[in-house]
């Protein structure tokens, strides 16, 4: 059985049809952001074509839980894949496709439901723009941690130094720690091997890779909010794809983020090397000290 994550760029692409029709054991994994992007905009004119290819093979579609729920999974649970899946929506996907066809034929009640889903999805994706200034400033801060020599290495896409590898490990762990602290209801940041398997850690890794891509291209301070929002969606989908058999996409940036994340999980964040353990310990130690000082104040 092959399970590959599908991003929005592939929903109406013949590549997806070919993948699903090649074998009944080929499954398309659909994250929540891909579903939201399918609904956004002019829902009643676009949702039918966006879901048409998946609807041809509805029993080969696996719908995932919402990102907020993925953040609550322990590293052990996330790595086992099954807890990532929304079993109810996956079982109900063939019926959902039938309802889509009924709406397309003129069922007003179902059309109203689809339009409401579209309104919610569009509002949520538009609301993400409010956070893009914070992300832009974060890109600038990370760029400043690299020396001019290191920036040249990044922009020339040369082999990173050991110091740059260590910097990446430290900053990814710190970014993950920040996400754990910010996310309401998230699992406690684990120690050791289970950290790399949590969704929050893999999202932080993909986020850091995305930031480095912007720094490499010299566009870190010039990116428009809508482009940064697209980066966030790419980070999310790429992180999810690391749990499965790959990512189906026509988006070159999303494909590169996923490929780099797979490489770094294998080479820099295996079960984990001694320097990763040390960095994780330092990050968690700093967090404990800050919490203690906050209680004292």
Whether residue 112 sits in one domain with residue 138: no
Task: Give the pairing of strands 247-248 and 61-63.
Answer: unpaired
Whole-number pLDDT of residue 219: 61
Per-residue pLDDT of the chain (297 residues; tens, 9 = 90+): 999 999 999 999 999 999 999 999 999 999 999 999 999 988 998 999 999 999 999 999 999 999 999 999 988 888 889 999 999 999 999 999 999 999 999 999 999 999 999 999 999 888 887 777 777 777 878 888 888 999 889 888 888 888 898 889 888 988 888 888 887 776 778 777 788 899 999 999 999 999 888 888 766 567 777 888 888 899 999 999 999 999 999 999 999 999 999 999 988 887 655 455 555 554 554 444 344 344 444
Into how many domains does the chain fold? 2
> Domain limits at 261?
131-296
- Nearest alpha carbon to residue 227 among 132, 94, 107: 132
Domain boundary among 89, 111, 127: 127
Distance CA 151, CA 138 (A): 16
For the range 120-125, what are the long-range contacts, defined as Cβ-Cβ under 8 Å and sequence gap of 24 or more?
A: 120/39, 121/35, 121/36, 121/37, 121/39, 121/40, 121/43, 122/39, 122/40, 122/41, 122/43, 124/36, 125/36, 125/37, 125/40, 125/229
Domain boundary among 127, 146, 164: 127
For residue 39, what are its two tokens? Answer: 């609904």
Whether residue 168 sits in one domain with residue 93: no
Whole-number pLDDT of residue 189: 80
Whole-number pLDDT of residue 186: 65
Distance CA 149, CA 147 (A): 5
Whether residue 80 sits in one domain with residue 118: yes
Whether residue 156 sits in one domain with residue 119: no
Whole-number pLDDT of residue 255: 95
Whether residue 10 sits in one domain with residue 79: yes
Distance CA 94, CA 52 (A): 12
Whole-number pLDDT of residue 288: 43
Whether residue 289 sits in one domain with residue 158: yes
């Amino acid at each position: 059985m092959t399970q590959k994550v599908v991003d929005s760029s592939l929903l109406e692409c013949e590549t997806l049809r070919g993948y699903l029709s090649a074998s009944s054991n080929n499954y398309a994994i659909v994250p929540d952001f891909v579903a939201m992007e399918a609904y956004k905009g002019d829902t009643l004119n676009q949702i039918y074509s966006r879901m048409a290819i998946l609807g041809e093979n509805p029993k080969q579609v696996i719908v995932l839980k919402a990102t907020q729920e993925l953040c609550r999974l322990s590293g052990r649970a996330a790595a086992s894949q099954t807890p990532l899946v929304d079993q109810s929506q996956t079982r109900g996907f063939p019926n959902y496709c039938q309802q889509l066809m009924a709406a397309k034929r003129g069922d007003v009640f179902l059309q109203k439901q689809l339009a409401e889903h579209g309104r919610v999805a569009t509002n949520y994706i538009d609301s993400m723009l409010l956070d893009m200034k914070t992300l832009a400033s974060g890109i600038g801060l990370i760029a400043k941690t690299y020396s001019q020599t290191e920036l040249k290495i990044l922009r020339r896409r040369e082999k990173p130094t050991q110091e740059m590898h260590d910097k990446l490990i430290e900053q990814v762990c710190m970014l993950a720690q920040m996400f754990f602290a910010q996310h309401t209801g998230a699992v406690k940041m684990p120690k050791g091997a289970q950290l790399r398997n949590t969704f929050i850690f893999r999202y932080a890794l993909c986020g850091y890779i995305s930031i480095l891509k912007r720094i490499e291209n010299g566009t870190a301070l010039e990116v428009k909010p809508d482009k940064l929002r697209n980066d966030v969606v790419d980070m999310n989908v790429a992180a999810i794809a690391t749990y499965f058999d790959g990512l189906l996409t026509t988006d070159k940036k999303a494909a590169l983020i996923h490929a780099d994340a797979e490489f770094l999980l294998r080479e820099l964040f295996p079960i984990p090397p001694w320097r990763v353990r040390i960095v994780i310990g330092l990050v968690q130690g700093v967090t404990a000290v800050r919490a203690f000082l906050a209680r004292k104040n």
